[in-house]
Structure 1
Amino acid sequence: MLVRKIPTWQTTRRALTVTAVAAFVTGGAFLSAGPASAATTLAGTCSGAVNGSMGDTVAVQGTSVKELVRKGAQDQVNALTFATVWPNSLADTIAGKGALNVGTVPNSAGGTIAGDAIGTVVANALKGAAGLGLLPDTQTKVLNSIKSRVAQGCGLTTVATNYAPPSTPGAGGTGTQPGGGTGTVPGGTSGNLSNLNPGTTGGTGGSAPMRDYSGIPTATAGTAVAPGVRYPANGTLPGDASAPQAGQGDQSGQGADIRDAGNAQSLASNGASNDVQLPMLLAVIVLAGVTAGLVRTWVLRRAS
């Protein structure tokens, strides 16, 4: 049996050709693949809480908003649009859309996806669908009604399952203290504290300078005023219940239980019990005049 001999240079050329083609195909596939996309977290309903990793896309099934779409379209059915607006058809259309991306899980412990955002996604998914109406104005009204219904009935709270809170400050490191000195800086950071940014962690931030309380006024020994000087012994403290209060009671010194009983005030002043008052003097004068008249009449009758 004869075996055909192939020259070495031909074998080498074929090997290089195959290698170049393989490298070209592999590189093209790598470039077309692009960066890896984030995972998609599917919510069971369009309301409530949904758990996912930070950066994940949050989606809702079209079936979860089916009834809301039906009600929103039904609100626009009237005598002029009953033949062109089909609520049941629109509900089936959104149910057939499958998963609808409505937002993402933020890079924090949690966040929210408002119902208005979900309503906008649903309305955009139904644009151009059959059953929205014949006229453009009718289609706009139907989509706005559906968006409003979905916004009222939906709303998600996102919870990041892989969120880790910032680490607590460590034992401390060497850095520049306020005033230019060098010492231990809380949190283990080193360097000038003026370069630290709020909210950062690690060796570039997360700490703040120690607070300076030297400007707060404090009491100094020997300068305080004694209570006896501020409030004399023969005086009364503000708000003392035993001291007479303006507008409460009269001048008789009555107790609080009597002063509060009414607003009656005495007409005569508080004088001595043996003083003759003006009413008594007038009564005596009138009585003397009446007596003199009676005596005069009696004398004249006896004389006649």
Structure 2
Amino acid sequence: MIPPGGQLVRKTMTVTAIAAFMVGGAFFSMGTASAATTLAGTCAGSVGGSMGDTVAVQGSSVKEFVRQGAKDQVNVLTFATVWPDALADTIAGKGALNVGTVPNSAGGTIAGDAIGTVVANALKGAAGLGVLPDTQTKVLNSIKSRVAQGCGLTTIATNYVAPGAPGAGNAGTPQARTDTAPGGAAGNLSNLNPGTAGGTGGSAPMRDYGGIPTATAGTAVAPGVRYPANGTLPGDASAPQAGQGDQSGQGADVRDAGNAQSLASNGASNDVQLPMLLAVIVLAGVTAGLVRTWVLRRAG
């Protein structure tokens, strides 16, 4: 027996469930309608679609690559368990394989490795890959390599709009610069045309160089003013120094020690000095003695 009010509760729950089902169905229908898939004619080349669309390739477009990849692993030990034709038919029956998306830019690429990975994943567990797990892995890797070598897509976003250049599109047009043209006429300098006459001729307004410092005639200081006659030049030895000596306490006469000075006598340059006269007399005496000895030896 249904307690009092039970029918009302049951009706309420039924209506709530139906409403939830309808809302959920509408939500999923909207999600399915917003998603789009762009099917490429082949696994190589270019494909156009809206930004965010899923890109898919037909399994039949990679059929021959699958067949060749499986044949590469057929040998004496695997010829009975690896079936290239069966694997090719299997991938062709998979229909459309999602391999990537159209990026949110002018274009992009879907590499052959990505397509090969999708194909290898679609063939996992298929008949004809071999019995041993090691054999199946080698066959799938060989198929993936063949597909990667032969496939590769360039995606083109058909609804991409390049950012507007400055002054074009909805980016806003900057205000044209207004300046004073030659002749005092105010106008738009962007409309200047070479070779035209008048205030808007093909020349730019004169530049203002007033802010550049320049020398003014008649203001130069004469050397006599900068260096007075009774003044001293920097480094003059006769000028008074700062202090009576240097840091060691030595005076100017000690500090200047070591300077070379001439020691020549005050006599005339053509005078014969006493040392020279004595040298000449000694040389004459020695020469006379040698001559005398030579003569005596010859005479004897």
**TM superposition score normalised by structure 1:** 0.49
Bigger Rg, structure 1 or 2: 2
TM-score (norm 2): 0.50
